Amino acid sequence: MLPILSLIVLIPILFSAVTFLTKTKEQARISALVGTLITLVLTLYMYFSFDSTTAAMQFEEMANWIPSLGISYHLGVDGVSMPLILLNAIVIPLLIVYTWDDVRSAPNRFYGLILAMQGAVIGVFVSLDFFIFYIFWELTLVPLFFMVNIWGGSNKKHAAIKFFIYTHVASLVMLLGIFGLYFNAWSLTGSPNMGIDHLITQFQFFESGILRDAIFLALLFGFIVKLPVVPFHSWLPDAYSEAPTAGSVLFILLKIGGYGLFRVMLPMLPFTATPSLMITIMGALGAVSILYGAFLALAQKDLKRMIAYSSISHMGYVTLGCAGLVSLSVSGAMFQQFSHGLIMSILFMSCGVIQTSTGTRIINELGGLAQKMPKLTVIMVLGFMASLGLPGLTGFIAEFLVLTFSFINVPIYVIIALLAIVITAAYHLWALQRAMFGTFNEKLGEIVDISSYQTLSMGIIALLVLYFGLNPSPVLDMMITNSEKIVSLMAVMGV
C-alpha cells in the first residue's frame, strides 16, 4: 500500500529544500506550486478514499524506530485530523497563487518556508507517537518565526521574538506533561512506549490524583497558548499584524492547538481527579475569549489588528465546544477550526491587498474602496458575513452547533458567549462600512482592483466557504463520528 501519509509530510519538506536552492523568483514559485499541488492531489485521493462511518485510524503506517525507548514511526488519520489536512492542502497552493506577482526579497526562502510549514503542520496532524508529534510541533515555530522576522512590518523583530518565547515556553510545559505520562506509564507497564493512545490509556491507572491533574493541566497549557485563549493571547495580535499576508494565513492554518484538545485532552479528561474543575476551566476560558476578543476587536483602528483580535474571539468557540461535552458541541468546535481557516484566509488576504493598494490599514483613512475595487468588495463582504455568523456560510454552522449543544452542560458560559454576537456583528459591519463603502477618500490616489491571480485564489476560498456553509456534511460527518467516540467515553466514566 502507498505510504500516503509519509508522502504528504515529506513532499512539502523535500520541495522546500529544492525551493531554497532555486536562483530566481520564477523557479521558486513554480517549485513551491508543484510541491503543494502534488500534496493536494494525494490529500484529495486520501479524502475520497476515507471512510466517514468509522472513528478508527485509517491509512496507518507503523515501524519501530527506537525500541529501547518505545519510540515508533506511527502515523494515522481519522475524522479529527482529515479535515485539517484537507484545509492545509487546499489553502496553501492558493496562497502561493495569491503571492504570484508579489515583489519581495529572497523569494526562494519565502516559498521554501511556506512549504516547510505545510510539512510540519501536516506532520503534527498525522503523528500517533508523542516523540514524532513533539518534533513536528516544534518545527512549526521555525518557518513562522523567520516569516515574521524577515518579511514582517516595522515592529517585526519584537513580534517574532514574542511569538517564539510565548509558544516555546508553552511547548516546554507541554513536554513536561508528556514526560509525566511517559515515565509513569513506563513504571506501570514495565516497558517504554511513546504511543499517544497507549499513554492516554495508561493515564487512568496513575495512583495520584494530583499527578493526573498536574499532567492534564501541563498539556492543556501547551495547547491553549498555541490556540490561543485569553489570557495567553497577547502574542497573537502582534504576530498576525506584523507578519506579511502569507505569514498571517500560515498562522491561521496553524490549528495544532485546537487539534491537541481533541486528540489528547478530551480523551484524558474523564480520568482526571477533578473532571468538573477541568470542564469549568475550559468553559470559562472559552467564554471569556469569545467576549473579550470581541471587545478588543471593536476597539481597533487598524483593520488587520481587528481581524487578528476577532480570531481570538472565534477560537474561543473551540474551547467552549470542548467543554460542552456533547457530540455535536465537540463536532461544532472541530468544524470551527476548519471554517475559521477558510474565513480568516479570505480576510487576511483582503487586508493584504488593501494595504498594498492604499499604503494604509487604518480604517478611518480608507473609505469608498468598493467604487475602485468591486471584485475585492464582493469577496471581502462574503468573508465578513461568514465571520460574523451569517446563515448559509460556514461560520454559522460552527457557532450554532457550539452554542446550541454546549448549553446543555455549560449554560452559564454559553450565555456569556452569546453577549459577543452583537459586538461581533458591530465591529464587522462598522469596519466594512468605513473601509469599503461611503465616500471615496481621494487622498488614497489611484487604486486598482485585485489581480487575476488574487481573484482566482480568494474566489476559490470564498466558494468553499459558501459550499461548506450550505453543505457541511463532507467534513462534518467524519467529525461527528469521532466526537461520538470521544463523548461516549465521557458517558461511561460518568462525566
pLDDT digits (tens, 9 = 90+) for 132-147: 999 999 999 999 999 9
> Over 90: is that where the pLDDT of 488 sits?
no
Judge whether 42 and 4 are in contact, CB under 8 Å.
Answer: yes
Mean pLDDT, all residues of the chain: 94
When pLDDT is cut at 50, 70 and 90, the band that residue 359 belongs to is confident
Of all residues in the chain, the percent with pLDDT exceeding 90 is 89
Among 172, 206, 175, which Cα is nearest to 188's? 206
Q: Calculate the alpha carbon distances from 88 to 12, 37, 96, 120, 375 in Å.
A: 11, 11, 12, 11, 25
Judge whether 252 and 349 are in contact, CB under 8 Å.
Answer: no
pLDDT of residue 105: 86
pLDDT of residue 477: 95
pLDDT of residue 103: 81
When pLDDT is cut at 50, 70 and 90, the band that residue 495 belongs to is low
Residue 31: all three cell numbers together:
517549485
* Identity of the amino acid at 153: G
When pLDDT is cut at 50, 70 and 90, the band that residue 491 belongs to is low
pLDDT of residue 310: 95
The mean pLDDT of 233-240, rounded to a whole number, is: 93
Residue 470 has a CB neighbour count (10 Å cut-off) of: 12
CA 120 – CA 169 distance, rounded (Å):
19
* Identity of the amino acid at 334: M
**Least confident stretch, 67-71, 150-154, 261-265, 333-337:** 150-154
pLDDT of residue 492: 60
The mean pLDDT of 368-391, rounded to a whole number, is: 94
pLDDT tens digits, residue range 344-353? 999 999 999 9
Q: What residue spans define the domains of the chain? A: 295-488
> Over 70: is that where the pLDDT of 369 sits?
yes
**Least confident stretch, 3-7, 89-93, 365-369, 476-480:** 365-369
pLDDT tens digits, residue range 188-224? 999 999 999 999 999 999 988 999 999 999 999 999 9
Choice between 482 and 440, residue whose per-residue pLDDT is larger:
482
> Over 90: is that where the pLDDT of 440 sits?
no
